[in-house]
Chain A
Amino acid sequence: KQEVTQIPAALSVPEGENLVLNCSFTDSAIYNLQWFRQDPGKGLTSLLLIQSSQREQTSGRLNASLDKSSGRSTLYIAASQPGDSATYLCAVSPVFTGGGNKLTFGTGTQLKVEL
Chain B
Amino acid sequence: DAGITQSPRHKVTETGTPVTLRCHQTENHRYMYWYRQDPGHGLRLIHYSYGVKDTDKGEVSDGYSVSRSKTEDFLLTLESATSSQTSVYFCAISVGAVGDKFGYTFGSGTRLTVV
Q: Is A105 an interface residue (CB 8 A)?
A: yes
In the docked arrangement, what's the CA distance between A108 and B42, Å? 7
In the docked arrangement, what's the CA distance between A105 and B41, Å? 9
Interface residues of B (CB under 8 A from A): 1, 31, 33, 35, 40-45, 48-50, 54, 56, 58, 90, 92, 94, 96-109
Complex: chain B residue closest to A52, CB-CB = B99
Q: Is A66 an interface residue (CB 8 A)?
A: no
Find out whether the CB atom of A96 lies under 8 angstroms from the CB atom of B99. yes
Can you pick out 10 interface pairs between chain A and chain B where the beta carbons lie within 8 Å of each other? A32-B103, A44-B92, A51-B101, A95-B98, A96-B97, A96-B98, A96-B99, A99-B54, A99-B56, A100-B94
Q: Is A70 an interface residue (CB 8 A)?
A: no
In the docked arrangement, what's the CA distance between A11 and B87, Å? 25
What would 17 more interface pairs be, CB under 8 Å, given A44-B104, A94-B98?
Answer: A31-B98, A32-B99, A43-B108, A43-B109, A44-B43, A46-B103, A49-B101, A49-B102, A49-B103, A93-B98, A96-B97, A99-B48, A99-B54, A101-B31, A101-B94, A105-B42, A107-B40
